[in-house]
Structure 1
Amino acid sequence: MGDWYKADLAYIHDIGYGDFADQAAVEILVCFQAHQIELGLVVDLGCGSGIWADHLVQAGYQVLGIDISEAMIELARNRVPTAEFRMESLFTASLPTCQAVTALGEGLNYLFDAEHNSSRLGSIFQRIFDALESGGLFLFDLVEPGQVEQGQVSQGFREGDDWMVLVEKQEDLEKMILTRRIITFRQEGRLYRRDEEIHRQQLYNAEEIAEQLSQIGFQVQISNAYGEYELAIARKAITARKP
């Protein structure tokens, strides 16, 4: 469905950045228990390589994972064969009745899908509200402006035993767009294969998103963390409960 999170970047993201899903999962499960969500179906939007889905299945939940990346879906199916995974856009996917919906890792910010624009958020929020059982939860994190100073470009890298990733970021505050240029190197035999992806994210203000959710009928809380796990700069976690 697009040239995003192809095989090499999906592999690198899974092995090199999976700590986010692992650490957030522990705290979100505590949140589920606090809201008496102890079983049933959880819909995981932008499920990635299935790390969070694996935590859910081990805790006794049913899982439907949705992601636009074919490579990510393949990793998820291999990791959690007992869960259901579908390759499609989270902005157009039909949602079954469920106890919780999650979108971890900035899934609602990504502009991978031609259907994604700020005016469509209200539509997906309404579909999530309608799909949730009474007392159900919608948990997600999003990116706000502030990762990079206006007019500046940030650069960084990370490496593992058989891979390296270089990331260049810049923000356009007029259009509220964050652009990431991602260059990957993955070892194959004695050589390294190079690939490149451009990811664009629509930046949002968490307070404005919370207001949209409230108008639909959710009870909303904004935080800088999932429980005890603090998010990185310019990220917010939102917990929305259907009364």
Structure 2
Amino acid sequence: MGFSIATVHVFLRLAFQRPLYLGEVFIPPLVLVVIFQPSKRVPIGGVAYVIRQSRDVSNQQRQRLRHGVLETAIFQVRPPFVPVRAGGPRLVFLFIAQAHVRPTTSRGTGVTRLERVTKSGYDKPHVAQVYDAENSGRWDLDFYLALAEELSQGIDDFAVLDIGCGTGALGVELAQAGYQVIGVDPAEAMLETAQTRPGGHLATWIHGYANDVPDAIADLVIMTGHVAQYFITDDAWDEVLQNAHRALRPGGRIAFESRNPGNRAWERWTHDNTLGTYPHPDGGEFTSWVESLQVNEEAPEGVIETHRGITVYPDGTRSGDDTSETLIFRPIDRLTSSLEGAGFTIEHAYGDWSRGPVTETGVEHILIARRD
């Protein structure tokens, strides 16, 4: 959401004062209220933004329903009179907009991310519950932690925006290391896991999409867990890069990975190759595997692949047969050109998590670029 500090008016409500009404929005006493005047990103007819202090997602949802508002998001605010330091106290607010806060035509990224949630089941609690067990031992975590340490040198209040943060495994580690962390994901079940994991309270979690994030809030934007491969169309991919550019402060970096199509990973996504057994959080063990269903190697954007993940739970129930997810494997030249088109300068391109060079059949394309 676009706003500038110059448009901010702060009202500190005192105890026992009468309730305040702003348009149709009820503001009770004992609430710190920050009102942002509508910016050019709000359609004509929209009203001012109202931010109310809250740390609990379910409470925020209740507030939204009670006030009858249409959109919600959570983000971090730094009032000029409240210093926020890395690892220090944070103010987390609920953002309420009593209007459609952006034109429908700007929701391309949102539509793509929502498609991922509904088709693959990431918003189902039983899927979110076992996600970390299935994805334990991720090699990318150490890479991004080291990158944040390198880039944060000499920067106070270094902030990281994690687009597609999922269950918050990396976001919480970054927050525990002292960085300010904002994680955004459209899957509410994944965010609930992020919030409730040890250290989850140290980060700010946004239930939404990249275009829900305010301007200039981060020094580093990351997309991990191959999130970059869920933006299938070029329009959706370009939009998420533009939103990342907007969310970065001048000189900030974006970093992400995408599987190298030359490695042809989908050919190994079979029952026998991917079958695994893992401890279930509620006891017992569950089994899961991945089956590649369809591959289109003729698409102009890159290789487009669809697969499903099957899970058999300790009680014998099975899920995943009726869901699937689609990924795109973009070649390195398309990744670099799209970054440059969004206003970034490529700084590094790696072919593996050890920072080796990009090769024709290497496993990964890992890119780091600077906001111009």
Which category describes the TM-score, using the shorter chain as reference length? Answer: 0.7 to 0.9
Distance in 1 separating the partners of 2:248 and 2:191: 24
From 202, 206, 221, the counterpart of 1:82: 202
Check if 1:58 corresponds to 2:184: no
Q: 1:42 to 1:96 in 2, by over 3 A?
A: farther
Identify the residue that residue 289 of structure 2 maps to in structure 1. 166
From 64, 67, 73, the counterpart of 2:185: 67
Q: Which runs of 5+ in 2 are unaligned?
A: 1-113, 280-284
Deviation at 1:127, TM superposition (A): 2.4
TM-score w.r.t. structure 2 length?
0.56
**Which secondary structure state, in structure 2, belongs to the residue aligned with residue 109 of structure 1?**
helix
Check if 1:49 corresponds to 2:167: yes
Distance in 1 separating the partners of 2:207 and 2:369: 25
From 257, 272, 275, the counterpart of 1:141: 257
Measured against aligned partners, the alpha-carbon deviations of 1:72-120 in whole angstroms (never above 9, x if no partner) come to 1111011212211122234x33344211110001112125xxxx52123
**Which secondary structure state, in structure 1, belongs to the residue aligned with residue 339 of structure 2?**
helix
Identify the residue that residue 370 of structure 2 maps to in structure 1. 241
Q: Which runs of 5+ in 1 are unaligned?
A: none
Identify the residue that residue 141 of structure 2 maps to in structure 1. 25
State the AA in 2 paired with 1:69. Answer: A
TM-score w.r.t. structure 1 length?
0.83
Q: 1:122 to 1:64 in 2, by over 3 A?
A: same
Deviation at 1:233, TM superposition (A): 5.7
Identify the residue that residue 318 of structure 2 maps to in structure 1. 194
Identify the residue that residue 102 of structure 1 maps to in structure 2. 222
Deviation at 1:211, TM superposition (A): 1.5
Distance in 2 separating the partners of 1:78 and 1:230: 38
CA contact (8 A) 1:95 1:127 kept: no
Q: 1:230 to 1:24 in 2, by over 3 A?
A: farther
Q: 1:168 to 1:138 in 2, by over 3 A?
A: same
State the AA in 1 paired with 2:162. Answer: D
Distance in 2 separating the partners of 1:164 and 1:11: 14
Query: How many residues were matched structurally?
Result: 231
**Which secondary structure state, in structure 1, belongs to the residue aligned with residue 230 of structure 2?**
coil
Identify the residue that residue 177 of structure 1 maps to in structure 2. 304
Q: 1:65 to 1:153 in 2, by over 3 A?
A: closer
**Which secondary structure state, in structure 1, belongs to the residue aligned with residue 349 of structure 2?**
strand
Identity %: 23
Deviation at 1:153, TM superposition (A): 6.9
Deviation at 1:234, TM superposition (A): 4.0
Q: 1:78 to 1:230 in 2, by over 3 A?
A: farther
Identify the residue that residue 334 of structure 2 maps to in structure 1. 208
Identify the residue that residue 117 of structure 1 maps to in structure 2. 233
CA contact (8 A) 1:42 1:101 kept: yes
Distance in 2 separating the partners of 1:108 and 1:171: 18
Higher Rg: 2
State the AA in 2 paired with 1:106. Answer: H
Deviation at 1:44, TM superposition (A): 0.4
